Amino acid sequence: MLNHLWQVFKDYYKACSMGNGTSRLYSALAKTLNSSAASQHREYLESPDPEHLEPIDPKELLEECRAVLHSRPPRFQRDFVDLKTDCPSSHPPIRVMQWNILAQALGEGKDNFAQCPVEALKWEERKCLILEEILAYQPDILCLQEVDHYFDTFQPLLSRLGYRGTFFPKPWSPCLDVEHNNGPDGCALFFLQNRFKLVHSTNIRLTAMALKTNQVAIVQTLECKESSQQLCVAVTHLKARSGWEQFRSAQGCDLLRNLQNLTQGAKIPLIVCGDFNAEPTEDVYKNFASSSLNLSSAYKLLSPDGQSEPPYTSWKIRTSGEYRHTLDYIWYSKHSLSVRAALDLLTEEQIGASRLPSFNYPSDHLSLVCDFSFNNEPDGLS
């Protein structure tokens, strides 16, 4: 106990000398004094045994994560913006989270982040920041890109939190080029099993100009247990880098074609989450905005006129320069779904001069979170 307290105080001085806030520290200190702290006893974080299936209380996992992160600056506050409160709904909203979490192997071995300290990228702590973000918003549906710790971290932990997960790795993941990698990165889709039943699941290797590419998508049809309404959800991560705009556009066309079939010609309401690696000026964005699937991009609703995308969803400094781009989107069927609320983005001040990732935030992409409801509920309330 004394040793642990001494460590907490050492961490306190370290945090102060870094000029960071101390609220995490107070919480860790209180925990140490009040109980046999979770920081000493990482029951969930250190035993992600796939055979271990007892449910986890999200609050307890969050406490474990906070104990691991006690010497880091506190999480930034992000608020939900209410967008549609006039229409009452008899069912709880469906919360959807879209997030490129940054593959561990790419962050350490390929991305060339120039301002992010290497200590901020340590997996044992960074994974707690990622889990903390997921646990803070508790999405019903979670769509992730750049997942290279599915089997050892996210699948075992999230399944004990009540999620069913699906992972589809990239066929030639660039993670595999990195020494000591943890396997390929890919897309993952999780949904809460107490809210949805899986009706249909498809893994798609996207094509461009009739050729198979290195980019993938997962598309699932879910049935809401409360309303019996069906919902189709897709997650994707399109080809990165400038010079590949036509390639991304072709991949987007392939995904749209697949989605036409999987939604039975737009009959089933659809949500598409992705890191499209494309600004709104690109063809792939325009094709999604004008498709016969009648999709709209949820985060436009945060702009004053409801017509503009946010100024950024990804902000980083590489050795090659600073990159601030809007690349991530949550598309939804605009006639059958409404966005009731959306999580505001981090401000430039919160992101800080070194940009992302950082000690505060684990990825170079921000998470996007929206609450949806169906427009036509069977009981006719909305």
Q: Give least dist CB 138 to ligand NDP, A.
A: 25
At how many degrees (to 10) do helices 58-68 and 123-137 cross? 140
Closest CA to 200 of 254, 268, 98: 268
Closest CA to 294 of 242, 323, 256: 256
Residue 279 engages ligand NDP in binding (rule: CB under 6 A): no
Residue 248 engages ligand NDP in binding (rule: CB under 6 A): no
Residue 321 engages ligand NDP in binding (rule: CB under 6 A): no
Extract the tokens encoding 115. Answer: 């301002």
Within positions 105 to 134, which residues make up the interface with ligand NDP, using CB under 6 A?
A: 106, 110-112
**Is the CB of 91 or the CB of 239 nearer to ligand NDP?**
239
Residue 214 engages ligand NDP in binding (rule: CB under 6 A): yes
**Is the CB of 63 or the CB of 148 nearer to ligand NDP?**
148
Beta bridge partners of 331: 272, 297
Measure the CA angle with vertex 332, ends 221 and 305; round to 5°.
170
Residue 212 engages ligand NDP in binding (rule: CB under 6 A): no
Residue 355 engages ligand NDP in binding (rule: CB under 6 A): no
**Is the CB of 60 or the CB of 177 nearer to ligand NDP?**
177
Residue 148 engages ligand NDP in binding (rule: CB under 6 A): no
In the sheet with 230-237, reading across from the earlier edge strand, the strands are 196-208, 211-224, 230-237, 270-275, 328-333, 295-297
Assess contact for 284 and 326: CB atoms under 8 A.
no
> Residue 254 corresponds to which amino acid?
D
Q: Give least dist CB 124 to ligand NDP, A.
A: 22
**Is the CB of 220 or the CB of 277 nearer to ligand NDP?**
277
Assess contact for 186 and 167: CB atoms under 8 A.
yes
Beta bridge partners of 316: 323
Q: Which of 155, 249, 277, 360 forms a contact with ligand NDP (CB under 6 A)? A: 277
Residue 174 engages ligand NDP in binding (rule: CB under 6 A): yes
For ligand NDP (CB under 6 A), the number of binding residues is 16
**Is the CB of 170 or the CB of 195 nearer to ligand NDP?**
170
Q: At 167, is the secondary structure helix, strand, or coil?
A: strand
Where does this chain bind ligand NDP (CB under 6 A)? 100, 106, 110-112, 146, 170, 172, 174, 177, 214, 239-241, 275, 277
